[in-house]
């Protein structure tokens, strides 16, 4: 004697519906993963090589602070060179002061070549390569460090 109140036909239909639901969910997951795969997983960052202007934009003997790039561009008698304005201690922006640079956050001081004179900064300020494009624009390359003796004659 069958004590189950649900007829066998109804059980089969529920099982069939559950199976269809499972197959539908798996198909939806597969399609979602496929569509996500088609979207590039790229982090768009600004280029680390960029123009800063024509050499004529920088007066002879000048020091120009490029706030948006956190750089100082120098036009000295010997040529052009570029120093980072990011303190090597905790990443504050150094300011020109006295005979070099001073960090307003923790008191690190650097000479005109970016070498540490005083304070908690562990390393000197980085120097970056400068070059000229065929259009006579100065280009800074943040991926290429240079020594403090580097000068670009434009």
- Left (φ > 0), alpha (ψ -120 to 50) or beta: where does 53 sit? left
**Spatial separation of the C-alpha atoms in residues 8 and 3, rounded to whole Å:** 12
Strand partners for 71: 66, 84
DSSP state of 89: T
Between 152 and 26, name the one with better pLDDT: 26
- pLDDT for residue 23: 95
Query: Is residue 80 very low, low, confident or very high in pLDDT (cuts 50, 70, 90)?
Result: very high
Residue range 78-103: average pLDDT?
88
Residue range 19-42: average pLDDT?
90
Q: If you classify domain 49-145 with CATH, what class do you get?
A: mainly beta
SS3 22: helix
- Quote the percentage of the chain above a pLDDT of 70: 96
pTM value is 0.68
Pairing of strands 116-118, 109-111: antiparallel
**In the β-sheet with 71-75, what is the strand arrangement from edge to edge?**
49-53, 138-145, 127-132, 80-84, 71-75, 63-66
Domain ranges of the chain: 1-44, 49-145
- What confidence tens digit (pLDDT) does each residue in 113-151 have? 888 988 888 899 999 999 999 999 999 999 889 988 888
């Amino acid at each position: 004697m069958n004590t189950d109140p649900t007829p066998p036909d109804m059980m089969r239909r529920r099982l069939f519906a559950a199976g269809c639901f499972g197959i539908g969910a798996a198909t939806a997951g597969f399609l979602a993963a496929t569509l996500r795969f088609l979207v590039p997983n790229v982090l768009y960052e600004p280029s680390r090589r960029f123009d800063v202007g024509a050499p004529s934009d920088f007066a002879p003997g000048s020091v120009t602070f490029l706030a948006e790039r956190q750089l100082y561009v120098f036009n000295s008698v010997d040529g052009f060179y570029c120093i980072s304005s990011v303190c090597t201690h905790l990443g504050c922006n150094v300011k020109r002061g006295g005979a070099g640079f001073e960090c307003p956050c923790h008191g690190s001081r650097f000479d005109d070549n970016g070498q540490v004179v005083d304070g908690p900064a562990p390393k000197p300020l980085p120097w970056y390569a400068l070059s000229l494009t065929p259009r006579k624009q100065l280009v800074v390359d943040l991926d290429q460090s240079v020594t403090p003796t580097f000068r670009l004659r434009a």
